[in-house]
């Protein structure tokens, strides 16, 4: 499905009541967007467990932090397109910063960051009135040629949000790295601790589904 911004979105499940809008990571170079193996694997694992929740995966026009404003526009367009009265923004890696900025969409109740990149300069005012949860791998870090986000940095962002009065939880997964899955021969295949990621995200979706608004 083509969004108004020119980005793409694919849907799994109904979006008439609840939606999880999933936004991917990125890089410095300005390259065309791709579908996230980590998000694809999670959706494939969780959608059967939550048949009343619609899952929307977003493929940015350009997946680069140099085009962050474009990525945020893509995320907002996806929230509007699904049209669910209640939405959760799930952001992986750079998608954490994208989801935080797109949280001003009126239907967004929760932002869930998976190994989220939260630059110190990023304003978190957009999280006021929303819930903000973070899940991060303890072994995640940037190495030469290997993408990653330090759990220390996401914890710092989470603590900044708490000082603004934002409610949420921070969970560290022992032994987990940056990704949840990788793509091989066109398939999304799980990395170590992927099952733990799925269990913890599932618990957040249960909370979201049961919330009284």
pLDDT digit string (tens) for 103-133?
999 999 999 999 999 999 999 999 999 999 9
* Mean pLDDT confidence for 191-210: 97
Structural domains of the chain, with CATH: 8-210 (3.40.50.1820)
Q: Is the predicted pLDDT of residue 29 greater than 90, yes or no?
A: no
- Exposed e or buried b per residue across 144-173, where buried means at least 16 C-beta atoms within 10 angstroms of its C-beta: eeebbbebebbeebbebbeeeebebebeeb
Q: Tell me the whole-structure pTM to 2 decimals.
A: 0.96
């Amino acid at each position: 499905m083509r969004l108004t911004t020119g980005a793409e979105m694919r849907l799994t499940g109904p979006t008439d009541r609840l939606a999880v809008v999933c936004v991917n990571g990125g890089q410095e170079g300005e390259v065309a967007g791709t579908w996230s193996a980590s998000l694809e694997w999670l959706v494939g694992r969780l959608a059967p467990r939550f048949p009343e929740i619609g899952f929307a995966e977003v493929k940015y026009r350009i997946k680069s932090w140099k085009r962050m404003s474009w990525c945020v526009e893509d995320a907002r367009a996806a929230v509007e397109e699904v049209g669910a009265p209640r939405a959760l923004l799930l952001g992986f890696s750079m998608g954490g910063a994208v989801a935080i900025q797109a949280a001003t969409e009126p239907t967004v109740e929760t932002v869930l960051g998976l190994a989220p990149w939260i630059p110190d300069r990023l304003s978190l005012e957009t999280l006021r009135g929303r819930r903000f949860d973070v899940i991060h791998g303890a072994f995640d870090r940037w190495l030469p040629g290997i993408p990653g986000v330090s759990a220390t940095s996401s914890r710092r962002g989470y603590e900044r949000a708490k000082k603004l009065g934002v409610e949420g939880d921070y969970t560290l997964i022992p032994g987990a790295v940056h990704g949840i899955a990788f793509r091989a021969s066109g398939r999304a295949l799980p990395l170590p601790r992927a099952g733990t990621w799925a269990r913890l995200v599932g618990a957040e979706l249960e909370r979201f589904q049961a919330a009284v608004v």
